[in-house]
């Protein structure tokens, strides 16, 4: 079947491609560098931001690990127990060790549990369906010779996800940073 509309469009397309204006546009080389930069700039900038985000998350994780080791020592040596610290007072000691990168008072969660053996220690993540479950956290620093697990949690925001590589393990674009310290309390004098 003959379609006059298709025939007219085809003829118009051939004339447009053969026109001197189209020939000048196709052969133009002056803006090629700008065009190449425009095509490469967006992925390059996204990659730079993803690298920065990953570096900041590693730095935050290391800061949290250092705070867990420092706070764990307060329980290991019996300082927290002999001074009768509550969970809030212990958290304040942890917050004193963390500077700058965290909103410690509202974003840091502490879990201190005592176990009968190292094998019995529960090191599972408190995540249910992509949501951090803080209801299972407690504060039990134990006594002399007890096995204690100190865990610090912080929900850190993830701003850049690149090419489907997702740095977040929680819903809402958050990554749960975790620092753990496991030890056996020294035989301090409980007073």
**What are the structural domain ranges in the chain?**
43-184
- The DSSP 8-state label assigned to residue 129 in this structure reads T
| Residues 6+ away with beta carbon under 8 Å from 65 | 179
Cβ-count burial 101-115 (b if 16+ within 10 Å, e if not):
ebebeeebbbbbbbb
CB atoms inside a 10 Å sphere around CB 3: 9
> Considering only CA atoms, which of 137, 36, 138, 139 is closest in space to residue 85?
139
CB atoms inside a 10 Å sphere around CB 164: 5
pTM over 0.85: no
- Chain centroid to CA 152: 14
pLDDT digit string, tens, across residues 95-109: 888 877 788 878 899
pLDDT digit string, tens, across residues 115-171: 999 999 888 888 888 888 888 899 999 999 999 999 999 988 877 665 555 666 778
Torsion of CA 22, 23, 27, 29, to 10 degrees: -40
In this prediction, residue 87 carries a pLDDT of: 93
Could you tell me if 186 and 77 are in contact, meaning their C-beta atoms sit under 8 angstroms apart? yes
């Amino acid at each position: 079947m003959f379609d006059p509309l298709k025939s007219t469009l085809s003829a118009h397309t051939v004339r447009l491609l053969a026109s001197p204006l189209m020939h000048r546009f196709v052969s133009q080389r002056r803006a090629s560098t700008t065009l190449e930069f425009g095509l490469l700039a967006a992925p390059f900038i996204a990659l730079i931001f993803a690298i920065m985000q990953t570096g900041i998350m590693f730095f935050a994780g290391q800061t949290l690990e250092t705070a867990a080791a420092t706070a764990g020592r307060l329980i290991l040596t019996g300082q927290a127990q002999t001074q009768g610290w509550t969970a809030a007072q212990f958290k304040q000691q942890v917050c004193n060790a963390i500077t700058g990168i965290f909103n410690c008072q509202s974003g840091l969660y502490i879990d201190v549990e005592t176990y009968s053996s190292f094998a019995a220690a529960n090191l599972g993540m408190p995540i249910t369906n992509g949501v951090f479950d803080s209801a299972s956290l407690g504060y039990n620093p134990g006594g002399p010779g007890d096995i204690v697990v100190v865990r610090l949690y912080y929900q850190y925001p993830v701003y850049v996800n690149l090419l489907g590589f997702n740095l977040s393990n929680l819903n809402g674009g958050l990554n749960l940073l975790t620092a753990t310290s496991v030890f056996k309390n020294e035989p301090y004098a409980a007073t």
